[in-house]
Structure 1
């Protein structure tokens, strides 16, 4: 399926002639453990232009953005993504709203999802059917003596991008895995965040029923040059060991997992999150997940320094069938405070109160939310047994 290429910039670019794409092979982006940077990434302070003041791109950022830009120039996306009209909604939350009309009109029709546990269907669209040029590279850690081989993770363009650099991380696509979060997929997503020097590179996951539109295991990754509420929102511990926290502030209460960086802390986080999502999937409860650099759990943090990685998990009402016609659909971005809006009218009239009402309507009723909370606390406590 692939031929290994050098990791210089040119290796991530397609040949100019489309007929050569099939023979191009998939380049490898091989990264060393030392490239996973947990500390020192921060938002610029008092900068007249945030974009101009962001830190230099990492090797990962350069490879992704160079190849992504080329695919845009080659016309491989469903529409050309220019600079999106963006506003921070007035109010205490700090919602970042963006007008993205094309995504609302041009994106592929979502599949008919009937269950959070729905099996993979090879007859439906899946990522084994994409054009060769949509693959940017294979994300691969450098081999470590004695360590098990990691699963192959392909980085693809999202042909209906919601923001700059919008990609999909797809583990072992040939296996036909359904949209159920697995440790290898989450590990790739968290490590992608740690490979980026951009404070606004985020990764997320939508379950079936949580507005995933393709039932083939994948995560989203994208750049957003704006702070989001969940980066520093306050939380309270739900167990004495601090393994699980409750994120209390709007847009929506969620379960917070935190790691200071690579090593045992990160592996523990991956294990805990996937045990939580397994519980939700097994009980047919839809969910969304968001990975971002952020502050440690505890009190509100207004610091521009992002000390580690936050993974936020939301259990929510299932949304099956055709997506609704609201100003925005509630999935991983919206629960984190990023609102891609579909029409100019909605963009100009949207308020914080209206956004919160749409989001709250998608959350579990209180009794079920409390049941889920108790179950996840019990799951975390099993580590001691």
Structure 2
């Protein structure tokens, strides 16, 4: 199935959105159909329990034991610039039945194949993978084109609960083939409203949050190319300096604290994870940095405190952020 969109399908200003878009309608119907009426998922999504931590941030903890036991084993990743290896699992090997649809626009010549497929081991409702240029066998490195494409998805959707994210190699990416995660989560995450301080030009930093990150915002569809250029400048710096990172797009409050809704683009720099190591309670990737924590076992679900989580977030992000902060500011 191919979802074809034109320029008239984009939401120019997300503050003024209402109703369900064609993208939302088709995407959610197909995801639910595959989840409920087929056996293509490794397990039926079953978040056994949820709770909000007591404290300033109110992190969302979700007990999802089946993901911990039934997901595909992650690749062993040794470097942030690891080349694509066709002998290993990649998304061209995913059966067609797991495809939600191909994404294609009607207004320019783009023969590349961009595909949304299910995540067979879902974290939450709607969890899927966007695989741009799937047949080109690109490694898990953000390209400028892919940034534009995922930004397009944000403006094709009116769902304020839809988020997109990227894990770099050595930043908890489990497959070395270019992909972004799509999530639908009916919960307002801390990173959607936490204050962001202006640094220089388009660059902000999130303050009063334990997972230090850089931020950018998109207010309208017409800003996509300019904002993506600025974000990509940071991504290239991180790649050139071998710094692991995670990127998250979500609809949240404007950085100037006005009532306007914007798309927040957040980039965390972090200590590298080398090999296929995983933590016992939770991994530290885009979901966790945003404030959503899929927990692997009942004991940790009950015992984890907000202070425990804050300590891990700070340890993973703050030293790297402080080390490169001034150099990143100089980029702008």
TM range (shorter): over 0.9
2:294 match: secondary structure = strand
1:61: which partner in 2?
24
Indicate whether 1:170 and 2:124 are aligned. Answer: no
Structure 1 window deviating more from structure 2 (312-321 vs 67-76): it is 67-76
Q: How many Å apart are 1:204 and its aligned residue? A: 0.2
SS at match of 2:316: coil
Q: Do residues 114 (structure 1) and 78 (structure 2) align?
A: yes
CA distance, structure 2, for counterparts of residue 229 and residue 35 of structure 1: 29
Question: Mapping of 1:87-126 within 5 angstroms?
Answer: 87-126=51-90
Aligned-partner SS, 1:40: helix
CA deviation after TM superposition for structure 1 residue 374, in Å = 1.9
Change in CA separation of 1:371 and 1:74 when aligned onto 2, cut-off 3 Å: same
- 2:282 pairs, out of 317, 328, 353, with 328
SS of residue paired to 1:128:
helix
1:201, CA displacement in angstroms? 0.5
Structure 1: which 4+ aligned runs deviate by more than 6 Å? none
1:267 to 201, 221, 225: 225
Q: Could you tell me how far apart the structure 1 residues matched to 2:196 and 2:15 are?
A: 23
Structure 2: distance between partners of 1:84 and 1:198:
25
Structure 2 residue corresponding to 1:354, chosen from 299, 304, 308: 308
* SS of alignment partner, residue 225 of structure 1: coil
CA shift in 2, pair 1:283/1:346, >3 Å:
same
Consecutive unaligned residues in structure 1, runs of 5 or more: 1-26, 43-54, 381-385
C-alpha displacement at 1:150, in angstroms?
7.0
Q: Normalized against structure 1, the TM-score is what?
A: 0.82
Q: Report if the CA contact (8 A) 2:215-2:265 is conserved.
A: yes
From the superposition, tell whether residues 126 and 88 of structure 1 become closer, same or farther in structure 2 (CA, over 3 Å): same
Partner of 1:338: 292
Given candidates 14, 24, 28, the residue that maps to 1:39 is: 14
Whole-angstrom distance in 1 between the partners of 2:198 and 2:279: 37
The one-character-per-residue Cα deviations of 1:293-350 (angstroms, maximum 9, x if unpaired) are 1121134x7x6xx611110001100011132333111111111111111111111112
Distance in 2 (CA, whole Å) between partners of 1:324 and 1:168 is 21
Moved more, 147-156 or 212-221: 147-156
Shift of 1:149: 2.9
**Which is bigger in relative contact order (C-alpha 8 A, separation at least 6)?**
2
Contact persistence 2:74–2:175 (CA under 8 A):
yes
- Map residues 196-345 of structure 1 onto 2, 5 A cutoff: 196-239=157-200, 241=201, 243-263=202-222, 265-299=223-257, 307-345=261-299
Q: Please give the TM-score of this superposition, normalised by the length of structure 2.
A: 0.94
What is the CA RMSD across the aligned residues, in angstroms?
A: 1.8
Matched, 1:376 2:328: yes
SS at match of 1:312: strand
Q: Is the 8 A contact 2:212 2:318 kept in 1?
A: no
CA shift for structure 1 position 41: 6.3
Determine the C-alpha separation between the residues in 2 that align with 1:261 and 1:270: 12
Which has the larger displacement, 218-227 or 346-355? Answer: 346-355
**Aligned 8 A contact 1:41 1:199 in 2:** no
Q: Distance in 1 between matches of 2:240 and 2:117?
A: 29
Could you tell me how far 1:371 is from its partner in structure 2? 3.8
Aligned position for 1:51: none
- CA offset digits 1:343-385 (Å, max 9, x no partner): 11111112110111122221252xx4334222222222xxxxx
Measured in 1, the distance between the counterparts of 2:296 and 2:322 equals: 33
The structure number with the bigger radius of gyration is 1
* Number of residues of Structure 1 aligned to a counterpart in Structure 2: 330
Q: Is the 8 A contact 1:30 1:141 kept in 2?
A: yes
* 1:40 positional shift: 3.4
Q: 1:196 Cα shift? A: 1.8
